[in-house]
Amino acid sequence: MLFLALLAPLLQLAAAAPTLDVAEGSSNELLKRGDGSGIHLVNCDGFGGEGTIVPPSSHVVYCANDSNCNFSPSGDNICTMGVNFWFTWEGHAQACTFSTGAKFSWFIDSNAQSQANFAHVGDGGNQFRAYAGYKDDKHTMFFRGSGQCHSIYYFI
């Protein structure tokens, strides 16, 4: 019952979110439009350098300008979902509240990782707008310590 209560707002967002068909292998630059903001679901690897151990972690990252978002986010623009493990993004309604009080909720299809890069795989939103979710190409967005942080999914 709680799951249905959490899912209902996401289904409303999904109906309002734009859907774009993207051919496999096409550039996601065409998708990065709208008001320019984006949200990324990010996994940071646990690799360290010179004896440093950096645990794996997962984060939700807000980008005011999604076309220029490959740098370490400020404290207000990152919401941590997992420390010492990678969070499972797929398969159920989820949410994260940033330090600003903005809450982002999303749903990623359970089979999203088997889809082509840049395919529409979910929807999300916050109190400001709805977002369409896409599988990203796992490019390195930024570093935490000496570990790389990769964009797994993005919402625009």
Q: What is the pLDDT of residues 61-97, one digit of tens each?
A: 999 999 888 888 999 999 999 888 899 999 999 999 9
pTM of the model: 0.77
Those residues with Cβ within 8 angstroms of residue 116's Cβ, 6 or more apart along the chain or in another chain = 22, 24, 25, 135
User: Which residues partner with 59 through β-bridges?
Assistant: 42, 80
Model pLDDT for residues 123-141, shown as the tens digit of each residue: 999 999 999 999 999 999 9
User: Which residues partner with 134 through β-bridges?
Assistant: 120, 154
Rounded Cα gap, residues 17 and 24, in angstroms: 21
Q: How far is CA 79 from CA 6, 57, 66, 74, 144, in A?
A: 19, 11, 17, 10, 14
